Every structure is written in structure tokens, then in C-alpha cells.
């Protein structure tokens, strides 16, 4: 297994942070929070970079809202600067882990997605059912509150097996642990109900 070091300087480089902004803004050009960030883009990017270099960076709060997809889902979104940083991290560490994913994992992967997932399912159904000659059963399921239930210690231990860069681990831990406040708030909501 290949070990990766010295990733932090790549993540926080000006080039990577500005590229992350370009990737982030693609479908958010008219969103008010993205427009505010873009209004002082250079200042915002360089401020983020300084905080990362000085290790004074702190992940901001999450905003909760509901969507119908098709069932109602409670979504939590980070502020723009944090989402830009998420893109910057993704661009550097995704290639490290991409090859470890199973071939039938389609969500949130470059070049994959819903349409490729449906095509793979159709191929599997045709194969198992011998082109419709035999009955075939499919289980559709969703893990309730999956991201809320991911064990952070386990997740970080998986990451640490491949990444041996203390600065990058500090950054990933701060982002992963920032989500605890969301899960804590949800638990308090449930207790009130």
C-alpha cells in the first residue's frame, strides 16, 4: 500500500484553492452566499490560506434545511469558504482513495453517478435473470442518517493508513469533527420530540 506525505502544502496552495473555487462555483453562480464570497474572492482565498498555514483555521457552522428527494431529507451545508476547502482537499486526496472503491459504487464519484448506476443495475438484472427468463429480486434500501452514524475514529484510522502527513491529518480531523456539532444538535432535537 502506497503511503502519502507532504499533501498539506498541495492542498493549501494558491493554485489549488483557486481551482477549488472554480470547481465549487460551477452550479452556484447565482447563490447569494457564493456571490458574497466571490465579491472579495482573492481576499477570502488568501485569508483562508493564512489560517490554514498558521493552523488557526476553524470549520464554520452548518446550516440545516429540508429537501424532497423524493422523500424528505434534512441536509446540512457548510459555509462557502469551508465548501471551497472541501473541494481543495478532494482534488488532492481523491486520487489516493479512488482506486480502493468497489466498481459498483456510483455516488459522488467523478465519471460515475446515477445514470451509470442504472446502466450497471440493468446489466446485472439481465445477467441474473438470463435476459428476463428467470425471476430476479432487487433490494432497494437506504441507510437512515448514514453520515450521522459514521464512526469518526474508524474513518480517521482508514485515512491514516494511507496519509502520513500530520498537517493534513490535523485538517481532516478538524473537518470531520466539525460535523459532531450537527449530530449533537440532532440528538437534542430528537430528545425534545
How many angstroms from the chain centroid is the CA of residue 192?
A: 29
Burial class (CB in 10 A: 0-12, 13-18, 19+), 182: middle
Average pLDDT over residues 52-69: 93
Model confidence over 61-118: pLDDT tens digits? 999 889 998 788 888 899 999 999 999 999 999 999 998 888 888 887 888 888 999 9
Report the percentage of the chain scoring pLDDT > 70. 93
Is 91:21 a contact under the CB 8 Å cutoff? Answer: no
Is 184 a residue whose pLDDT tops 60? no
User: Cα–Cα distance between 11 and 164 in angstroms, integer?
Assistant: 14
Question: Comparing 183 with 27, which gets the higher pLDDT?
Answer: 27
**How many C-beta atoms surround the C-beta of residue 52 within 10 A?**
19
State residue 189's pLDDT score: 58
| Residue from 68, 70, 48, 45 nearest 57 by CA | 48
The pTM of the full predicted model, rounded to 2 decimals, is 0.84
Amino acid at each position: 500500500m502506497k503511503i502519502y506525505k507532504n499533501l498539506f502544502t498541495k492542498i493549501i496552495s494558491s493554485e489549488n484553492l483557486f481551482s477549488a473555487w472554480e470547481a465549487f462555483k460551477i452550479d452556484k453562480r447565482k447563490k447569494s452566499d457564493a456571490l458574497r464570497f466571490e465579491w472579495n474572492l482573492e481576499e477570502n482565498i488568501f485569508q483562508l490560506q493564512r489560517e490554514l498555514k498558521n493552523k488557526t483555521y476553524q470549520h464554520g457552522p452548518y446550516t440545516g434545511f429540508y429537501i424532497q428527494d423524493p422523500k424528505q431529507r434534512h441536509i446540512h451545508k457548510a459555509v462557502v469558504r469551508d465548501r471551497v476547502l472541501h473541494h481543495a482537499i478532494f482534488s488532492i486526496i481523491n486520487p489516493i482513495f479512488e482506486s480502493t472503491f468497489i466498481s459498483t459504487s456510483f455516488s459522488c464519484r467523478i465519471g460515475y453517478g446515477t445514470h451509470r448506476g442504472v446502466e450497471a443495475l440493468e446489466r446485472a438484472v439481465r445477467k441474473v435473470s438470463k435476459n428476463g427468463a428467470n425471476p430476479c429480486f432487487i433490494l432497494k434500501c437506504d441507510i437512515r442518517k448514514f453520515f450521522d452514524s459514521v464512526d469518526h475514529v474508524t474513518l480517521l484510522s482508514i485515512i491514516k493508513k494511507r496519509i502520513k502527513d500530520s498537517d493534513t491529518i490535523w485538517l481532516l480531523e478538524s473537518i470531520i469533527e466539525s460535523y459532531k456539532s450537527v449530530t449533537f444538535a440532532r440528538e437534542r432535537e430528537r430528545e425534545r420530540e
